[in-house]
Structure 1
Amino acid sequence: MLLALGGMLMMVLLVLLAFIRPSGSQAKATWIWETSVIEQHPGEVLAFVGKQGVDTLFLQIGGGVGQESYRSFIRAAAQAGIQVHALNGHPDWALREHRNEAAEFLKWVVDYNREAKAEERFAGVQLDVEPYLLERWQKDQKAVVEQWMEGVRFWTEEARYNDLTIGAAVPFWLDQIDHPCEALKLPLGGWMVGQFDYLAIMAYRDAAGRIYDISQRTLNEADRQNKRVWVGVELGESQEGPGISFHAQPLASLNREMKRLEELGRKHGSFAGIAVHSYESWHNKLNGL
């Protein structure tokens, strides 16, 4: 009984710690890719993200994690004031022949939420579909963009029909691509703002001013459309060269630049906060790993 009581007290303490947020800091989000961590160390995850001011988690679905583990984790997160969005995606999902894979993911979330209690439900879904990683993108970008847009229309309509908030992770440079309809000169980034409930911009640079500069156009468009935008920062080791990630920067530099980015982002009503990529990299950095 004493052991059981001790375990309960420890879990309560961890949940309470999740409410302790940095003074004056805007709420943050982070991506969790190693799904099994919610089974193995749920209290540690919630204590860590709560202390960092996180109120939204983008949680990868998979890894053999059972529905009861999702229910338990989301319930504990809700008690700490943290929302959990179901995350999934693949570059191929943008293509017509793979579109149903995204539809099946959405159906899984809808079915899960229908069977779960209110405090155990996903607050939304996030699609991480990056077709520009496909070889086909280099050969026929226009055709891939058209198929991607068809898929986005289908997925967002399906989500709204089921009263499900839907967002997407997108690169900052989508506004460099025009709508494939030549009669309509609309940047793809602006079109994406209109389709989704929110976007998480992968604005990966290692200085607040540079991150803000490449995010500003999307933030302005989201202001106009009354949508929400998370501005993403990278903490993992990047293969894209210098100037992309905070991986090699000291912790003091990271904290300073994130604070500055929050100040810049607050110019926009659409600014949801900073989304840190990823929980795993963030946890390692703050623990000196």
Structure 2
Amino acid sequence: MIICILFMSLNSTIIKADNITEDERSTWIWNPWILVDNEINTLEFLETKHINKVYLQIDYEISKKVYQSFIEKATAKDIQIYALAGESYWITENGIEYQNQLMDWLEHYQHEATDVQRFLGIHLDIEPYDTTLWTTKQTTAIQTYQQLVVQAKKKAQSFNLPLQLDIPFWYDEISYDTKYGNGILSEWLIDHSDGVTIMAYRDNSQEIIKIAKNEIEYAKQMNKKVVVGVETLESKEGDSVSFSEEGEAYMNRQLSKVQKYFSEKTSFKGIAIHHLESWMEMRP
């Protein structure tokens, strides 16, 4: 009886340990040529900053061997690598071909790579609001964007990969009425992806929490995950957008407050810091 109880106790402990999930701490690499020039220092920086996920831009001019080398080394350090792509012009006429090109490249890459060299997900940052179409025909722009997401999701599923999206914090103020139904754009995107990263670009915890709350609450209802993204690149949109002026120590204090506030929310997945090179140049 004592042995049985002991076994049950140990087994219970193991199960609990398996269920513990570490918060995501991620960053974007928009310039993958840094891997050609400085792979070792890049990996050291990621490890020093406790990064466990990287959204890595796909550049067709870079040899697949560069991606294979970096991902294999990152995998050894328990850093997940997601394929990053997306442009606002993808929503223009025939823009779907750019996404198709990405998916074709990714399919070939995954086939040629070994297990430890493969991407573990797809991360899209399309930003349709940076087009004239959004300004003049917003409904058309949104519907085209939705079409891209639906097709990307199908492709991701065929690759057995999760699909994540970057979205601005203000999508919860955008309504849609398209062939995909009607509602709030942020909610639709959460529903039709495996997770979103909110571009909650503010330089203090109170504002970050305020503008990320709605998405995190909705994602909780839908059993989805949300990562909160912040900016380190100098911004021309105002003094309160980026942490570039305040420095890294101040940023980390603010992010700790954000994590503490959302820690009880099952939908809160972690923090993303935009982006690698501006973060590297940031003052302490």
State the TM bucket, normalised to the shorter chain: 0.7 to 0.9
After superposition, give the CA deviation of every residue in 1:39-80 in whole Å (9 maximum; x if it has no partner).
221121111111111100001111732111111100000000
- Counterpart of 2:29 (choices 15, 27, 32) is 32
| 1:95–1:148 contact (8 Å) kept in structure 2 | no
Q: SS in structure 1 opposite 2:233?
A: coil
Give the aligned residue type for 1:265.
F
Give the match for residue 234 of structure 1: 231
Q: Distance in 2 between matches of 1:285 and 1:42?
A: 19
CA distance in 2, matches of 1:257, 1:136: 37
Return closer, same or farther for 1:30/1:169 CA change in 2, 3 Å cut-off.
same
Q: Which residue of 2 aligns with 1:102?
A: 99
Question: Which of 274, 277, 284 lines up with 1:277 in the alignment?
Answer: 274
What's the CA shift for 1:182? Answer: 9.7
Q: What is the CA RMSD across the aligned residues, in angstroms?
A: 1.8
Gap regions ≥5 residues in structure 2: 1-21
Contact 2:24–2:271 (Cα < 8 Å) also in 1: yes
1:150-171 per-residue CA deviation (whole Å, 9 max, x = no partner) reads 1211111121122121111111
Taking the aligned partners of 1:247 and 1:265, their CA distance within structure 2 comes to: 24
Structure 1, 176-185 or 126-135: larger mean CA deviation:
176-185
Does 2:134 align with 1:132?
A: no
**Among candidates 113, 116, 122, match of residue 110 of structure 2:** 113
CA distance in 1, matches of 2:195, 2:282: 28
TM-score (norm 1): 0.86
SS at match of 2:139: helix
Q: Which runs of 4+ in 1 moved over 2 A?
A: 181-185
What letter corresponds to residue 65 of structure 2 in structure 1? E
1:236, 1:245 within 8 Å by CA — same for their partners in 2? yes
- Aligned AA (1:238): S
Question: Is residue 60–residue 87 contact of structure 1 (8 Å, CA) maintained in 2?
Answer: yes
1:189 aligns with 2:191: no
Aligned match of 2:10: none
Distance change in 2, residues 1:73/1:183 (3 Å): closer
The CA deviation at 1:223 is 1.2
From 29, 36, 41, the counterpart of 2:38: 41
Measure how far apart 1:240 and its partner are. 0.6
Letter in 1 for 2:116: E
Q: Which ranges of structure 1 fall in alignment gaps of 5 or more residues? A: 1-24
Distance 1:260 1:63 in 2: 39
TM-score normalised to structure 2 length: 0.88
1:41 is paired with a residue of what secondary structure? helix
Superposed displacement of residue 183, structure 1: 11
